[in-house]
Amino acid sequence: MPIVTVVAPSETWAAEFGSVGARLRNELGALALRIDHIGSTAVPGLAAKDILDIQVTVGALDEAHLAPAFERAGFRLTSRNRSDHQPPGTGGPASDWQKLYVEPVHGRPMNVHVRVAGRPNQRYALLCRDFLRAHPTAADA
């Protein structure tokens, strides 16, 4: 099991996401319905692992179309993390929690989650980020 190191908040995380997000937008074009900075590094003032989490929202998990675009942007699809953990008590099909996982070929560590628009796992990442941004006391906890 790798050791997780939490670091002090960095003012560079938002700018780093901006740069990577622009590169992804340029290569993915209309395949990406939205590209969001998610996770701990997306919450200003929050200590976190120094790994950017990015969510690319798509209309479908179509590897044949997505893989070449990600490769042009310097990323590759992997076979790991093909599904998010389904929280206890949630209903619906297992497909609601499916995703693709993309990682950079070189450079800065990032987790890029590719999820389908409107599915619970896509909404959850945004709701969690937005809640912590809006409630600093919860983020501090």
What's the domain range around 130?
6-82+95-140
Predicted local distance difference test score (pLDDT) of residue 117: 98
Total domains present in the chain: 1
Question: Mind listing the pLDDT tens digit for each residue in 24-74?
Answer: 999 999 999 999 999 999 999 999 999 999 999 999 999 999 999 999 999
Q: How many CB atoms lie within 10 A of CB 139?
A: 16
Whether residue 134 lies inside any domain: the answer is yes
CA distance 21 to 17: 6
What distance in Å separates the CA atoms of residue 69 and residue 124, rounded to the nearest whole number?
25
Could you tell me if residue 90 is inside a domain?
no
Three-state DSSP at 138 gives helix
φ and ψ at 18, to 5 degrees? -55, -40
Given the structure tokens 């949630």, which residue do they identify? Answer: 90
For position 105, which CATH number holds? 3.30.460.10
Residue 62 within any structural domain of the chain: yes
Q: Does residue 110 lie within any of the structural domains?
A: yes
**Is 45 contained in some domain?**
yes
Q: Is residue 121 part of a domain?
A: yes
User: Do the domain assignments include residue 1?
Assistant: no
Measured between alpha carbons, how far is residue 83 from residues 41, 60, 97, 99 in Å?
22, 14, 5, 5
> Is 4:47 a contact under the CB 8 Å cutoff?
no
pLDDT in tens, 99-129: 999 999 999 999 999 999 999 999 999 999 9
Q: Confirm whether 89 is domain-assigned.
A: no
